[in-house]
Structure 1
Amino acid sequence: MATVLNVIFNVLVIGWSLSPWFFAAYLCAAAVIAAGILTARGKIVRKSAGAQEAQSAVQNRLFDGWDTLLIGNRYNWSRWKEVFGRTVDKAEKTETQYRFSNNILSLLIMVGSIFPMILVVLWTLADSAGNVGRMTSVIVTLPRQVSNIQYLSVIVEYVTELVGIREKVRNIDHAASAVEKENQYHGTIRWENLRFSSGDVEFRFENVENFLEFLKDCAEEERYGRILITGTNGSGKTTVLMRIKEYFGDRAYLFPNHTRLFFEDSNKKEYSTGQRLRANVEEVLDRMKDPSVRLFLFDEWNANLDEENQKEISEYIDRLAKRGLILEVRNKEV
Structure 2
Amino acid sequence: MDSDWRMVAAFGFTITQQVLLALSTYYIAQAGLALGDGRVEQVFVFVTLFFLLALLGYVASSAASLFTNLASNAAWHRYSFSTLVKSTASLRYASDKNRKAISQWLGGEALSTLGYACEFYIGFVSVSLNVALTLLVFYISIGWQIALVMAASLTVSLLFVIVLRHRIERSAGEMQRRKLEALLTVEWTWGLAMFGSRAMRQQGFSELDDKTGRYFAEVNRYVALEQAVACLPIIVATVSVMLLLEYSSLFTLASMGALVAVLPRSLQVFGSVHALSIYLSQFYLVRAKLRNLEAFSSTLDDYNMSLTSLQAVSVCETDSTRIILPLALIQRLSSPEIGGGRYTVTGKNGSGKSTFLKLIKQGLPDALLMTPDAKFSGKGEGLSTGQLRIQEVENALSSGAPILLLDEWDANLDEDNSNAIDSLLDKAAKQIIIVEVRHVRQGRAVSSL
Normalising by the residue count of structure 2, what TM-score does the alignment of the two structures yield?
0.34
Normalising by the residue count of structure 1, what TM-score does the alignment of the two structures yield?
0.44
Greater relative CO, 1 or 2 (CA 8 Å, sep 6+): 1
